[in-house]
Amino acid sequence: MPSESERAVKRTRSQALELERQQALAELASNFRHVFRTLSRMRGRDTHLSSSDVSHAQFELLVELYERGPLSAGELAAAAQLTPATVTQMLEHLAESGHVERSRSDTDKRVVVSCLTAFGRGKIEAKRAAWQARWQEVLDGVEVEQLRAASGVLERLCGLFEDAPGSGECATGRAGKDAAQVSSQTS
């Protein structure tokens, strides 16, 4: 049976580990808030784009078309977690600027399907290549285990916000408010 001093040492170690964990959680929460604010600012800059530029939200629609092929406005809305009316408006701009073509579905003439043009595909590939280079540079030297751990943490955080009361999506302003509340509670 452990002595009283051995139990005290074990309690002290346990308390130190718990303190270290709480500090790490507070640091993670602070960094998460910082990333979220940075993304919000990036999206905010979209309001200052010229008519020929593509917003972050529009780019996300282009990525869906790039990855999944031709889709209806409803399918894109579900994938992007936007309303069909918002997506339709965005698609009209993307069609006018030559990024997508819109046509009636071969199977259901009531449905309008959008697909990427060569110009739209080129825009995605160029932007992805630029971001991939930045991504690689920033994460250079980070071990595979750390990358997997970070991915797992982000997955859990997304689940936290998707399951939050009054919130149905991970990438909304509500998620940022929830993140601020969570991180302020852990700080």
Q: Are residues 116 and 57 in the same domain?
A: yes
Q: Are residues 152 and 170 in the same domain?
A: yes
Residue 28 in any domain: the answer is yes
pLDDT tens digits along 12-62: 888 998 999 999 999 998 888 888 888 777 766 655 555 557 888 888 899
Nearest-angstrom CA–CA distance, 182 and 177: 9
Q: Are residues 82 and 36 in the same domain?
A: no
Take residue 156 and report the two structure tokens written for it.
């859990």
Q: Assign 186 a pLDDT band (cuts: 50, 70, 90).
A: very low
| pLDDT given for residue 10 in this prediction | 84
Sheet holding 112-116, edge to edge: 71-72, 112-116, 100-104
CA 94 → CA 26, 53, 144, 149, 158, distances in Å?
41, 9, 38, 37, 29
Residue 103 in any domain: the answer is yes
Range 65-85 average pLDDT: 92
Q: Are residues 72 and 92 in the same domain?
A: yes
pLDDT tens digits along 104-122: 988 888 888 999 999 999 9
pTM, two decimals, is 0.62
CB proximity list for 17: less than 8 A, separation 6 or greater: none
What is the percent of the chain where pLDDT is above 90? 45
Residue 71 DSSP one-character state: E
Residue 86 is part of which domain span?
49-121
